[in-house]
Amino acid sequence: MKRCAIAVAFLVVAAASAADLLTPAEKRGREIYLHGQGAARPITAFFGSDDAGEISASVVPCASCHGPDGRGVPEGTVAPSDVRWSVLTKPFFSSDGGRRRPRYDAGLLARAVREAVDAAGTPLFAVMPRYRIDDRDLDDLVAYLRRLGNEPQPGLDDAAIVVGTVVPLTGPRAPAGEAVRSVISGYFDDINAEGGLFGRRLKVEAIDAATAAKKIAGGQFFGVVGVSSDDSSLDDIVSAERIPLVTPFATALESRSAVSSFFIFSDLESQALALLDFAAEREGKRALRVAIVHDGGKLADAAATVAARHCNSLGWTVGKRDAEILLAIGSVDVPAVAATVKTPQILIAGASVTKSLFELRGKTVFVAAPTLPGDISDEGRGEIESFAMRHHLSPEHHAAEISAYAAVKVFVEALRRGGRDVTREKVIASLEHLYGFATGVTPAITYGPNRHIGTVGAYVVGIDFDRRTFSPASRWITPAE
């Protein structure tokens, strides 16, 4: 899992034994419960006795009504049942005596899933679908429902939530890693000074990027605030264990699609599209030739594919040599490429902003910026300056500290919304309902079930070669695609 140097920290909580972790069958059942996705074959759903309107179970997964914790999510006059095993295995008698059922066992629960009737054979609410589900998937679902409401929360106890930050602890990047750790530690110190979070103290533990995978795989982490590591196996672990992660940038294609990973800033795809929309506005309806180059990474390659499609939609021609616009995506040596591609205008998404860009004098150069100093509000500026003085932060790593501050602030907000009975699934659900959240130091953050990137789009800044600086060239641009 590649993360840029400004990325950040793991939210950990005291260790749980391996015996308490979910089995493979229970994990598969969790995916069915939360997302309607079976391992054996596709699961479908229909309402009533007529299966003419059969739809994918991913549209109406169990969790959409019963909630990630199984307690039920009331909506209007409908109050979905509590489907935690501790409740299902007890007989039910309504207070008015109008409804009663015996306790569920595995067989009766399987019948309820397929036929939408309760343990007594009484039809359930009309909004309860019938699921067409393979026997193996149904066994997995029942296995998970036995754990629902009592699912292990590695490291979480009544006294503390331990936060780990995966950063370089040695080598030339160690000072930046220490700056990130100091931000996480300081933020939690401030919370602990006010009594903690629902009576729990927040703690931080710095984990060296070289050993992070082993520690995380051991089931010691409750969630993630960010990672700075080149170990791609971390993505697999975070996704498989549904460890909530909040980090500044998505720098691996796999992490971008992880169900529990959330990002503060826009990705390469979003930045590239913002640049193209900016160019289209400047150039009017004139047909253009565009050369697209990228650094060869999966994320940059995916962004280049989307950018090429967008160019085609604009009526532009995409090539590799002579062009009126060069679009560089990722860690590209732009001056070297510009020496071989004849073009008067260069657009840069995701490249490191270094002095070498000033070698491009004679070109018109625009760079996508996922954030600008102007995003820091007056209140946010006062907040971060006071925080920096209080915790003796180094101005040398200001960008890394700002990014870490935004990430930990978003994560703690999700923890707060999860309440005293917080779980990983509650944190994920809280993040997916975060809308227009003001960190004070970045653009407002908005997530959703199908949107885990907090700020979609970018500013565009131009290079002033005479002053050797950058100047804003556009408002915030949200790509149409």
**In the chain, where the domains are located:** 9-15+154-266+377-432, 22-145, 268-369+458-472
Mean pLDDT per 10-residue segment, the chain (481 residues): 40 38 90 91 86 86 89 79 91 76 93 93 88 95 91 86 82 90 94 95 84 78 79 78 87 69 92 95 87 90 94 90 90 88 92 78 92 94 96 91 96 95 90 95 93 93 90 90 61
Give the span between the Cα atoms of 283 and 280, in whole angstroms: 5
Q: Give the angle 248-249-255 at the CA atoms, nearest 5°.
A: 120
* CB 388 within 8 Å of CB 441: no
Give the span between the Cα atoms of 414 and 434, in whole angstroms: 8
Helix (H, G, I), strand (E, B) or coil at 397: helix
Kindly report the pTM of this predicted structure. Answer: 0.83
How many Å separate Cα 296 from the centre of its chain?
A: 23
The Cα-based distances of 6 to 37, 242, 351, 405 in angstroms read 35, 23, 15, 10
pLDDT at 356: 81
The Cα-based distances of 31 to 68, 111, 199, 282 in angstroms read 11, 20, 32, 46
Q: Structure tokens of 377? A: 């509000």
pLDDT at 97: 62
pLDDT at 256: 65
pLDDT at 227: 76
Same fold, 9-15+154-266+377-432 and 268-369+458-472: yes
How many Å separate Cα 251 from the centre of its chain?
A: 12
pLDDT at 299: 87
pLDDT at 257: 66
CATH of 268-369+458-472, one of 3.40.50.2300, 3.40.50.1220, 3.20.20.100, 3.40.50.720: 3.40.50.2300
pLDDT at 20: 57
Long-range pairs for 345-354 at CB < 8 Å and ≥24 separation?
A: 345/279, 347/272, 347/275, 347/276, 347/278, 347/279, 348/275, 349/268, 349/271, 349/272, 349/275, 349/303, 349/458, 350/268, 350/271, 350/272, 350/300, 350/303, 353/470
* CB 350 within 8 Å of CB 369: no
Q: Which of 27, 23, 45, 50 is nearest to 113 (CA)?
A: 45
* CB 138 within 8 Å of CB 43: no
Give the span between the Cα atoms of 481 and 476, in whole angstroms: 15
Task: Tokens 């998937």: give the residue.
Answer: 137
First to last CA, the chain: 26
pLDDT at 321: 73
* CB 186 within 8 Å of CB 205: no
Which ranges constitute the DSSP H helices of 194-322?
A: 212-217, 233-240, 253-256, 268-283, 298-313
> Does the 9-15+154-266+377-432 domain belong in CATH 3.50.50.60?
no
Calculate helix-pair angle for 424-432, 398-418, nearest 10 degrees: 110
pLDDT at 51: 67
